[in-house]
Structure 1
Amino acid sequence: MSAARIAVVTSGVGFEYDVDLPLIVAALRAEGLAAQALAWDADAVAWDGFDLAVIRSTWDYATRLDEFLAWAETTSRHTRLLNPAPMVRWSSDKHYLLDLGERGVPVVPTRVLEPGDQCAEADFDRAGDVVVKPAVSAGAQDTARYEPGQAAEAVRHARMLLDQGRAVLIQPYLSLVEEGERALVFVRGAFSHALRKGPLLTEPGVMDNSRVPHPDLTPHRPTEAELRIASAALAAVPSPGTSLFARVDLALDENREPVIMELELIEPNLFLQSNPRGLTLLVEAIAAEAGLRSA
Structure 2
Amino acid sequence: MNIALVTSSAFPGSDWSDRDTPVLRACLEEQGCTTQILAWDDSDGVDWTAFDVVAVQSPWSMWLKLAQFRDWVDSLHRQGVRLANPHAVIVSGMSKEYLPLVEQHGARTIPTTVVRPGERIGAVAAEALANAEREFGEAAVVVKPVSSGGTLGAARVTEEQDLADRLAAFAEADVTACVQPYVSTIDSLGESGIIMIDGEVSHAITKDAILAPGRVGTQFHPNARAGHVEHGDDLTDIHTAYDAYLKTVPVHPVSVRLDFLRHPVTGRLLLLEIESVAPVKFFHLHPEAAARYARSLIAVAARSDLIRS
**Which of 257, 265, 269 is 2:268 aligned to?**
257
User: For structure 2, which runs of at least 5 residues remain unmatched after alignment?
Assistant: 304-309
**More deviation, 223-232/92-101:** 223-232
Retained in 2: the 8 A contact 1:192–1:277? no
Q: 1:229, CA displacement in angstroms?
A: 2.5
Equivalent residue for 1:153?
Answer: 162
Instruction: Give the 5 Å matches for 1:168-187.
Output: 168-178=177-187, 179-187=189-197
Equivalent residue for 1:138?
Answer: 149
Equivalent residue for 2:287?
Answer: 276
Retained in 2: the 8 A contact 1:194–1:220? yes
Q: 1:95, CA displacement in angstroms?
A: 0.6
Retained in 2: the 8 A contact 1:115–1:167? yes
Q: 1:249, CA displacement in angstroms?
A: 0.2
Identity of aligned residues (%): 27
How many residue pairs align between the two structures? 283
1:70 corresponds to which letter in structure 2? Answer: D
2:221 corresponds to which letter in structure 1? Answer: H
Retained in 2: the 8 A contact 1:189–1:245? yes
Equivalent residue for 1:85?
Answer: 87
Q: 2:128 & 2:198 partners in 1: Cα distance? A: 39
Retained in 1: the 8 A contact 2:129–2:181? no
* 1:11 is the counterpart of 2:8: yes
Equivalent residue for 1:231?
Answer: 239
* 1:248 is the counterpart of 2:249: no
Q: 1:79 & 1:112 partners in 2: Cα distance? A: 32
Retained in 2: the 8 A contact 1:132–1:145? yes
Q: 1:57 & 1:191 partners in 2: Cα distance? A: 21
Q: Helix, strand or coil: the match of 2:60? A: coil
User: For structure 1, which runs of at least 5 residues remain unmatched after alignment?
Assistant: none
Equivalent residue for 2:64?
Answer: 63
Q: 2:126 & 2:250 partners in 1: Cα distance? A: 41
Equivalent residue for 1:212?
Answer: 219
**Which of 98, 101, 104 is 1:99 aligned to?**
101
Q: Helix, strand or coil: the match of 1:12? A: coil
Q: Helix, strand or coil: the match of 1:266? A: coil
Q: Helix, strand or coil: the match of 1:100? A: helix
2:192 corresponds to which letter in structure 1? Answer: R
Q: 1:141, CA displacement in angstroms?
A: 1.0
Retained in 2: the 8 A contact 1:47–1:78? no
Normalised TM-score (structure 1)? 0.90
**Which of 205, 209, 224 is 1:195 aligned to?**
205
* 1:40 is the counterpart of 2:40: yes
Q: 1:271 & 1:257 partners in 2: Cα distance? A: 24
Q: 2:241 & 2:84 partners in 1: Cα distance? A: 18
Retained in 1: the 8 A contact 2:128–2:181? no
Q: 1:43 & 1:26 partners in 2: Cα distance? A: 26
